[in-house]
Structure 1
Amino acid sequence: MGSYFEVRMIPQLQPNEIELIDWADEFAQQVLAPNAQQWDEEAHFPPEVFEQLCQRGLAAMLLPSDNGGADLSYVASVQIFERLVRGDLGVPFALLLQNNTLRSIWLHGTSEQKERWVPRLVDGSLIGAYVITEPDAGSDAGSMKSTAVSLAGDQWKLNGQKWLLSNSPVADLFVTSVVTQLENGEAGGISTFVLERDMAGLHVGQASETLGARSLPVGDLHFEDLTVDDGHRLGEIGSGMRMALDAVNFARVVWGGIAVGIAEAALEEIIEFLKEREQFGRAIADFQAVQFQLADLACKIEAVRSLTYRAAAAIDLGSRYIELGAMCKKMAGEMVVEVTSACHELLGGRGYLVPHSLERRMRDARLALVADGTTNIQRLVIARSLVGRR
């Protein structure tokens, strides 16, 4: 498929994609933005709003339309997230997890598994969570300790703990990575199982308090002698790490769109404030030093937007995108933290008062530094692509 340097063109959006992007923009303005501050203060996840997004096909952005999906390109999908997060981060991020849960089942599931779970994930009657992280296995996911031991009669017994799981407090379905041990005692590598909330032995923890994206519920899971059959195993034994990394790599490009949306909304908000706020007899926006600062921030946003669209185009064109995705995630996280912090600082003393939408966006931005791989992990992926693993 060649080097990521070969990707030059960004595919043109189709009319149905433009229509959905415009709808997402309107939804962010009319539904998400007016409620975002209250959801943040109350740490409230609005299931009815999430279901509205699913009803538009946005839980299955890449799925073919005859299967209930939106049949979008990845370039269009990224732009939809870019628009949605201008209103709120938590609910759109829950939607990203829904897409990843559904995508894994669609790509790796049997026909029975697809028939059982895909339609209800598409319409939002089931909420999905992607379960990888453990207390001692974050960036080093391969060191996870949760296990699935093979029993007689195609049965598996799961034990362990998962942690820092977005969507888990409200999820009905958990795509879960665990270390498998075969019946003969041999190691089976990391495999993936689909777990349902009401299973005996599955304990869903309460939502944790978080710094930002507080409308996104985050919690933990415990497995205690949880027994499932092979009908809940997703894909081949030992394919779980590849499946998990595919989901993570996929999400990293979306983070570019998320960062651009948050940063651009913050920049627009502070510009309006600076035009109205006067000091020394004129609007703060008229001071050249401030104008230069705003210009620098705008350039950084556009640079990440261009990189994001190029990475998304690489996926659509079937080109190599893992390195581009890591570049995208690294640059996006650094940019959105810098832009939101600068915009918040330009509020002056007002910025020290809470609540404020720019204070909320500044807290939300921190998630971009750690979700789906920290900034240093992105550097590691990029460096290895350049000089090889050493």
Structure 2
Amino acid sequence: MDFNLTDVHQEFINLAAGFGKKKLAPTITERDHQGIFDEDLVSEMLGLGLCGAYFEEKYGGAECDVLSYILAVEELAKYDAGMSITLSATVSLCANPIWQFGTEAQKEKYLTPLVEGKKLGAFGLTEPNAGTDASGQQTVAVKNEDGSYTLNGSKIFITNGGAADIYIVFAMTDKSQGSHNGISAFILEKDMPGFTFGKKEDKLGIHTSQTMELVFQDVKVPAENLLGQEGQGFKIAMKTLDGGRIGVAAQALGIAEAALQDAVEYSKQRVQFGKPLCKFQSISFKLADMKMKVEAARLLVYKAACKKQEDQPFSVDAAIAKRVASDVAMEIATEAVQIFGGYGYSEEYPVARHLRDAKITQIYEGTNEVQLMVTSSALLR
């Protein structure tokens, strides 16, 4: 598989990099330390055209490819991991399932503003008792005589929660059909009566991303807002998460690259025992090992993106990319802190942020243990 980047790919990288350098880098320390979800910055990012990378022009997209989008997520993560997951949740978790499973009317009403960057999206699957085991949904949608649904329940740990305009939400519609056939997916709008927001999470990392609880109290959802067929929700959720894992893998790759670059630069400047740290073999070899792992992860991430673009089966590729890239991000960030020494443990330096941000990539979009389950199941089938 050839990963020679085209001029179009480079344009997406340059768009994200330019925004990262000019708008994200100057304020990331302050926004990270204060937990600021900057809606103006988010709106500006959405307006760059990154959301529409692989969607058709008729929905406002650029009609390029999945790799273009993944490159943008990766690039943003070098400057602000929170901003990159804000983009990824909008595209991979909200726009993509509407694109794959929605009606033309749904695409016109909901997909187009997401693709055009006019609306922010979110994905509501996780509940207090349904995390890794997504089948344990307690949120319920009861069908009414007029064909609409009444939704009751809650979702937790929702990226873009409270800020997003459009939400993909999963609920049990028929318990007798079991978890795989009894769950349905719905498109919700922020201002629907009874749809409110609960706890805002105080997280270890990705402080510039907003994570909030969704609360549903007798929310009336029109029949036309059912996504796909009734009972198809579990399938929609799993397919959506497959694509989302590539986005998280790209985010992890960007974090790892940023941590490596910071470590390289610091090792050249920091003098100990009369010479720069990089002149010590123990440090130079550590940096070389970090570089090798980043490049190996890159190939897995790009491969998964290309297989999705080519409409080939990519579930296992996404699981492998997500597992490897997130583990690499955590390892590289940890090593970067070690190279910085005491300074690395200080929030004055960026490697502390990289370490905090890297950890979540091993957890969301399916824990890394789940990626082993996905891969082993396919291997032993």
- What's the TM-score, normalizing by structure 2? 0.95
**C-alpha distance in 2 between matches for 1:251 and 1:231:** 25
Q: In structure 2, what is the equivalent of residue 23 of structure 1? A: 15
| CA-to-aligned-CA distance 1:320-355 (integer Å, 9 cap, x gap) | 211111111111111100100110111111123223
> Offset at 1:206?
4.1
Give the deviation of 1:11 after TM superposition.
5.9
1:79 aligns with 2:68: no
1:56-85 per-residue CA deviation (whole Å, 9 max, x = no partner) reads 221222211342112221222221211111
Moved more, 329-338 or 317-326: 317-326
TM-score for the superposition, normalised by structure 1:
0.93
Deviation at 1:155, TM superposition (A): 1.9
Contact between 1:53 and 1:59, CA under 8 Å: does it hold in 2? no
2:122 & 2:76 partners in 1: Cα distance? Answer: 20
In structure 1, distance between residues paired with 2:313 and 2:166 = 31
For 2:311 and 2:194, the matched residues in 1 are separated by: 41
**For residues 242 and 177 of structure 2, what CA distance do their matches in structure 1 show?**
29
User: Which runs of 5 or more structure 2 residues have no equivalent in the other structure?
Assistant: none
CA distance in 1, matches of 2:64, 2:41: 21
> Any stretches of 5+ residues in structure 1 without a counterpart?
1-8
What's the counterpart of residue 351 of structure 1?
344
Where 2:135 maps in the other structure, the secondary structure is: helix
Aligned partners of 1:325 and 1:113: how far apart in 2?
Answer: 27
| SS in structure 1 at match of 2:312 | coil
**AA of the residue aligned to 1:250:** G
Shift of the 293–12 alpha-carbon distance from structure 1 to 2, 3 Å rule, reads closer
- SS state of the match for residue 347, structure 2? coil
The answer as to whether partners of 1:10 and 1:310 remain within 8 angstroms in 2 is no
Quick check: 1:340 aligned with 2:319?
no
**Residues 60 and 102 of structure 1 are in contact (CA less than 8 Å); yes or no, is this contact kept in structure 2?**
no
Residue number in structure 1 paired with 2:24: 32
State the one-letter code of the partner of 1:176.
V
Q: How far off its partner does 1:124 sit?
A: 3.2
Q: Note the alpha carbon deviations across 1:78-124, whole angstroms, 9 max, x for none.
A: 21211111110111111111113112222222222222222322333
1:357 aligned partner, one-letter code: P
- Distance (whole Å) between structure 1 residues aligned to residue 247 and residue 220 of structure 2: 35
Distance 1:175 1:226, change over 3 A: same
Q: Residue 318 of structure 2 corresponds to which residue in structure 1? A: 325
**2:151 touches 2:216 (CA, 8 Å); kept in 1?**
yes
* SS in structure 2 of the partner of residue 34 of structure 1: coil
Amino acid at match of 1:43: G
Which one-letter code corresponds to 2:379 in the other structure?
A: L
What root-mean-square deviation, in Å, do the aligned CA atoms of Structure 1 and Structure 2 show? 1.7
Q: Distance in 1 between matches of 2:82 and 2:283?
A: 31
Secondary structure in 2 aligned to 1:159? strand
Q: CA deviation at 1:46?
A: 1.6
Kept after mapping to 1: 8 A contact 2:330/2:355? yes
Residue among 207, 210, 220 paired with 1:217: 210
Preserved CA contact (<8 Å) 2:85 2:248: no
Distance 1:227 1:181 in 2: 17
Distance 2:89 2:32 in 1: 19
1:1-390, aligned counterparts within 5 Å? 9-10=1-2, 12-100=4-92, 101-181=94-174, 189-388=182-381
Amino acid at match of 2:273: F
How many residues get paired?
378
Distance 1:18 1:66 in 2: 23
Counterpart AA for 1:64: E
Aligned residue identity for 1:345: Q
Q: Is the 8 A contact 2:249 2:361 kept in 1?
A: no
Task: Work out whether residues 61 and 99 of structure 1, in 8 Å CA contact, stay in contact via their aligned partners in 2.
Answer: no
**Within 2, Cα distance between the matches of 1:218 and 1:238?**
28
